[in-house]
Amino acid sequence: MLMAIGGRRHPRVIPGFGVTIGFTLAYLGLIVLVPLGALVAKAAELGPGGIWAVATDARVFAALRLSFGASLAAAAINAVFGLLLAWVLVRYRFPGRRLVDALIDLPFALPTAVAGITLATLYAGNGWVGGLFAGDGWLGALFGPDGLKIAYTPLGVVVALVFVGLPFVVRTVQPVLADFDAESEEAAASLGASRFATFRRVVLPAILPALTTGFAMALARAVGEYGSVIFIAGNIPMVSEIAPLLIVTRLEEYNYAGASAVATVMLAVAFVLLFAINLLQRLDRAQAS
Amino acid sequence: MIANGISRRRFGGFVLGAATLLAVPGARAAAGPTVIQNVSYDPTREFYRAYNALFAERHAAGGGAALDIRMSHGGSGKQARSVIDGLEADVVTLALASDIDAIADHGLIAEDWQSRLPDNSAPYTSTIVFLVRKGNPKGIASWDDLTRDGVEVVTPNPKTSGGARWNYLAAWAHVVAGGGGAADARAFLARLFGNVPVLDTGARGATTTFVQRGIGDVLLAWENEAFLALKELGPGDFEIVVPALSILAEPPVAVVDKVVEARGTRALAEAYLRGLYTPEAQALAAENYYRPRLPEVAARYADAFPDVKRVTIDDPMFGGWRKTQAEHFGEGGVFDQIYRPR
Amino acid sequence: MAQRSNAATTEGAATRFGLSAAAFVYLAAVLLLPLAAVFHEATRKGLGAFFEAIGDADTMAAVRLTVTVALIAVPLNLVFGLAAAWAVTKHEFPGKSLLITLIDLPFSVSPVISGLVYVLLFGAQGLLGPWLAAHGVKILFAVPGIVLATIFVTLPFIARELIPLMRAQGTAEEEAALSLGASGWQTFRHVTLPNVRWGLLYGVLLCNARAMGEFGAVSVVSGHIRGLTNTMPLHVEILYNEYNFAAAFAVASLLALLALVTLAVKSLLEWHHGDELAGARH
């Protein structure tokens, strides 16, 4: 995907390593590592057995399952439609293309609480979209007499997470698709492959690493999301209660260690996810060069 | 509002000195005690806006300096936690005694705080009522109606909302006062919460869900919130139903000793809280739909507040806030057990 | 990005139309509809109420605080982003993947946790709390705490924008400059910086938008003191909780507008410097 020439063959020719790595580590340490260390230290007060007990508690487990399940669903939806959006943006020319391209970043910039309130307004039974799916709405009839409830169900959680995770897949796939060499497509076509077969056998394998990265980043971002979800989730324990809300609930009980334990479990999963992505990208670059 | 003007003018300087704040944290109080900070819960916004203006006016009339009364609102438990974590509150005006107890447990407030002011340190009271849709289509009249099949009840989460704890306790009191035991009350609450489609984190969120989103048939609400929602969000669209029996909700107030001693604001903070018991302040409370304590003011507003038998938290069925908090709302307590998978 | 007119490597008109239509419908449902709803709610009570809400003194205080916080957080993250990208892309060292993962971490940490960690560290009951209190230093429930939480949340944006770009550019140009006798700083200033300037700007814009819009983490460390420690997103929540829906959405629309302006600026940059930016994405 991206060229990895240079550095590797001429290590330490370029000055400034000491200063920049020193500053990077110090800044990262102060802003991220020390505070996260405090979190893990607080959770450690419970001991490994205590943390395990928290992570496997039925209610915590249900919340983690919802958080990860809804995030997986949202990331999967965004993987499909993100690929489609990237394809249309890179391969086709149409008026307003740059405007559409710019809009993709909106979920990064819109405050999550605003997104949550707005989505709840739209998807509640009396909202613009929720009304369509209500029992008397013209799409709701497809789902039986009661229609389809979106807001205040796990479905609402997925809606919010789809919004939050939309940019990731588009933004990772787009550059790879733009750089993709048309010659191999032409070769495949000249050998008689259909358009779809060419896509599946030639294009898809090339963009798969980027697609996976985008999927995993959307997933990682969605798992921890709070502001936009809390307004639309319903927050019923065992049904529509997300893991970050459990952290807040523990805090309300002045149970800092319990809150930290749930947070540590989520943190560990996020770290493993991200580390896997970065290793994947590194392998991918090594392969490319 | 008058008081807030000063904070705004100060704010420009405050922004410029954001970094210097690290060095001179006491600078704001240096000019003498003219700033007090009131950390409160959600539904008191309108009342304290009015009372702060009254108190500042009174203070100025008595020859005092212009006051800057700062407000912070949020869920009662969250606010208490912020104070414990270092939010500098001269006074706290919260939803439940147990939240102030928690602050006292961390040594910021003297243990005997509740006896320092009249009426359990609760200058106004409230109760829990039902808000239903116009015409009361589901015919909801009593607590028993809330557990019927097909009735959707909206309440915030007792874990994160003070008001919701009163909701829960009022329902409990209904069963026990009717001759039921603890097991019956548990089963009743399990059925009631089985009818709850959305558990918002705070009272205001629940009101919005019920009124704006059209979710549910009945909202369990503070009486003052129900009146306010009726006034602000749609008179004619909703009705208030008062159950025969409910709970005496006492939102207490206290001076935060550690903070007022450090900032030299004790006299001012105490005057601020005592002022809540004056007839003018009591009338303001009544106009903001809190039930006043002073008998003469209560008599004047008697028509506004329907008669309801109110069980107190000190009733033997509860045994005070400390016991109730641990037993019902603590981790693994009765409320958590309702949502345990069986 | 050459035009692909070769029939072998593009789809038929019908497929093209179908795919485009599907993409637009998705975009409209997921992005445009919420955006439209924000502006619809904001202007529901008329433009007068809209401007009144925005001109309100507490709103202005929230705007000032939000701008102040962004003005502190974004430049700090800019310096960090440059230093981290320089160290990671121009040098080889063990543990690089781990370092990049740590830089990414704030992306995926729940905002609730980002706020919580500072409470555990600087709160009165926290590790450093008693020491800070004894020395009269206020971090939590004051501007420094809000700035710290914002820096945490927005830390990866600029570094993540620069790392792939600088990696793609390699080190050949820097090596040439150095062999001609330029100092390390001169090389950075006159060779590297011009090469990455548009990617850098894009990173700054996104970082700024996120810094101004952060809600969850800031909510935990702010204390919600009206006119003093309320940022714009927190002020939206307060107005919403006061049943002042039109005003809440008016302030929210300011933030949405900010996002749109940010995106428009970015778009303009791409328009004029498309080639340089092409490699800027990861």
Q: Which residue of C has its CA nearest to A225?
A: C110
Q: How far apart, in whole angstroms, are the C-alpha atoms of residue A238 and residue B193?
A: 13
In this prediction, residue C158 carries a pLDDT of 92
- The residue written with tokens 């309300």 in the block is A252
Please report residues of B whose CB lies closer than 8 A to that of A258.
331
The percentage of chain C sitting over the pLDDT mark of 90, rounded to a whole number, equals: 43
> Smallest Cβ distance to A249: which of B84, B102, B160?
B160
Q: Give the residue-averaged pLDDT of B118-146.
A: 96
Per-window interface: B 173-212 vs A, CB < 8 A: 196-201, 205, 209, 212
Of A120, A235, A255, the CB nearest to B213: A120
pLDDT, position C61: 94
Among the ranges given (B29-33, B148-152, B239-243, C82-86), the one the predictor scored with the smallest mean pLDDT? B29-33
Name B129's bridge partners: B221
CA distance C139 to chain B (A): 7
Q: DSSP alpha helices (H): ranges in chain B? A: 2-16, 45-61, 76-84, 97-105, 162-177, 182-194, 203-211, 223-233, 257-263, 266-274, 279-287, 295-300, 321-324, 334-338
Mean pLDDT throughout A55-66? 90
Contacting residues for C1 by C-beta, under 8 A, at least 6 apart:
A90, A178, C274, C278
CB A46 within 8 A of CB A258: yes
Q: How far apart (Å, rounded) are the C-alpha atoms in residues B133 and B219?
A: 9
Q: Residue A268 contacts by C-beta under 8 Å, 6 or more apart in sequence?
A: none
Instruction: Take residue B236 and report the two structure tokens written for it.
Output: 């004619």
Q: Which chains touch C (3 or more CB pairs under 8 A)?
A: A, B
State the nearest Cα–Cα gap between A281 and chain C, in angstroms: 9
Q: Could you state, in order of their start, the residue ranges of all structural domains in chain A?
A: 48-288
Q: For residues C33 and A3, which has the higher predicted lDDT (pLDDT)?
A: C33
Helix (H, G, I), strand (E, B) or coil at B125: strand
In angstroms, what CA-CA distances link B308 with B129, B166, B302? 10, 15, 12
- pLDDT: which is higher, A51 or B25: A51
Cβ burial, residue C67 (10 Å; 0-12/13-18/19+) = middle
Please, which chains are in contact with B (at least 3 CB pairs closer than 8 A)? A, C
Interatomic CA distance for residues C77 and C156, integer angstroms:
8
Q: What region does B174 belong to: left with phi over 0, alpha with psi -120 to 50, or beta?
A: alpha
Tell me: pLDDT of B14 over 90. Answer: no
Using one digit for the tens of pLDDT, what is the confidence trace for C75-111?
A: 999 999 999 999 999 998 999 889 998 998 898 888 8
Predicted pLDDT of residue C250: 93
Partners of residue B39 on adjacent β-strands = B72, B92
Say which DSSP state B325 is in.
I
Q: What is the pLDDT of residue C8?
A: 55
Encode A27-56: b = buried (16+ Cβ within 10 Å), e = exposed: bbeebbeebbebbbebbeebeeeebeebbe
Q: List, for residues C67-82, the tens digit of each pLDDT value.
A: 999 999 999 999 999 9
> Per residue in B303-325, pLDDT tens?
999 999 999 999 999 999 999 99
What is the overall mean pLDDT for chain C? 86
The model's confidence at residue A175, banded by pLDDT at 50, 70 and 90, is confident
Contacts of B208 in chain C (CB under 8 A): 240, 243
Give the orientation angle of helix C57-89 with respect to helix C232-241, to 10 degrees: 140
SS3 A116: helix
Give me the pLDDT at residue C6, please.
Answer: 53
Amino acid B98: pLDDT: 92
Q: How far is A153 from chain C (nearest CA, A)?
A: 18
Query: What is the distance between the alpha carbons of residues C218 and C220, in angstroms, rounded to a whole number?
Result: 5
**Superfamily of domain covering A48-288:** MetI-like (1.10.3720.10)
Contact A235 B199 (CB under 8 A): yes
Supply the mean pLDDT for chain B.
Answer: 88
A114/C87 touch (CB, cutoff 8 Å), yes or no: no
Kindly determine whether residue C90 and residue A113, on different chains, have CB atoms separated by under 8 Å: no
Q: What confidence score (pLDDT) does residue A55 get?
A: 84
Quick check: B233 and C243 CB within 8 A?
Answer: yes
pLDDT > 90? residue C118:
yes
Residue C96: closest CA among C104, B328, B302: C104
Question: What residues does B130 pair with on adjacent strands?
Answer: B220, B241
Structural domains of chain B in order of their starting residue, each with its CATH number: 32-124+250-300 (3.40.190.10), 128-247+312-338 (3.40.190.10)
Range of weakest confidence among A102-116, B2-16, B156-170, C129-143: B2-16
Write the pLDDT tens digit of every residue in C231-270. 999 999 888 888 888 999 999 998 888 878 877 777 777 7
Residues of C with CB under 8 A from a CB of B: 57-58, 60-61, 64-65, 68, 72, 119, 122-126, 129, 133, 136-144, 147, 223-228, 238, 240-243, 245
Structure confidence at residue B102 as a pLDDT band (50, 70, 90): very high
Residues in chain C closer than 8 A to A5 (CB atoms): 170, 172
* Cα gap A170→A174, rounded to integer Å: 6
User: What are the tokens at A153?
Assistant: 């169900």
**How would residue C5 be classed by pLDDT, with cut points 50, 70 and 90?**
very low
C30 Cβ contact list (under 8 Å, min separation 6) = A162, A163, A166
What's phi and psi for B244, nearest 5 deg? -65, -35
C94: how many CB neighbours lie within 10 A of its CB? 7
| Residue at B119: amino acid letter | D
E strand intervals along chain C: none
Residue C6: DSSP 8-state = -
- Chain C residues touching residue B70 (CB < 8 angstroms): 225-228
**Contact call for B82 and C141, based on CB within 8 A:** yes
pLDDT of C280 higher than 50: no
Q: In chain B, what residues touch C57 (CB-CB under 8 Å)?
A: 4-5, 8
- Comparing A76 with A184, the larger pLDDT belongs to A76
Tokens 């693994």 correspond to B332
Rounded to 5°, angle at Cα A152 from A147 and A153: 70
Residue type at B30 in one-letter notation: A
**Confidence class for position A168, pLDDT limits 50, 70, 90:** confident
Whole-angstrom Cα Rg for chain C: 23
Q: What is the pLDDT of residue A193?
A: 81
Give the integer Cα–Cα distance in Å for B182 and B172. Answer: 8
% of chain B residues with pLDDT over 70: 90
B9 pLDDT higher than 80: no
pLDDT for B342: 53
Q: So what's the pLDDT on residue C274?
A: 59
Q: The tokens of B65 are what?
A: 């300096």
Per the DSSP assignment, residues forming a β-bridge with B38 are B71, B91
Residue C2 confidence class, pLDDT cut points 50, 70, 90: very low
What does each C-alpha distance from A123 to A83, A110, A157, C35 come to in angstroms? Answer: 25, 18, 11, 14
Say if CB C219 and CB B73 are below 8 A apart.
Answer: no
Rounded Cα gap, residues C277 and C195, in angstroms: 10
- The per-residue pLDDT for range B127-137, each reduced to its tens digit, is 999 999 999 99
Give dist(CA C29, CA A108) in Å, integer.
17
How far is residue B123 from each of residues B69, B114, B254, measured CA to CA in Å? 19, 11, 11
Is B295 exposed, middle or buried (CB count within 10 Å of its CB: 0-12, 13-18, 19+)? exposed
Chain C residues touching B21 at Cβ < 8 A: 138, 142-144
Residue A58: its chain B contacts at CB < 8 A?
340-341
Q: Look up the pTM and report it.
A: 0.86
ipTM: 0.85
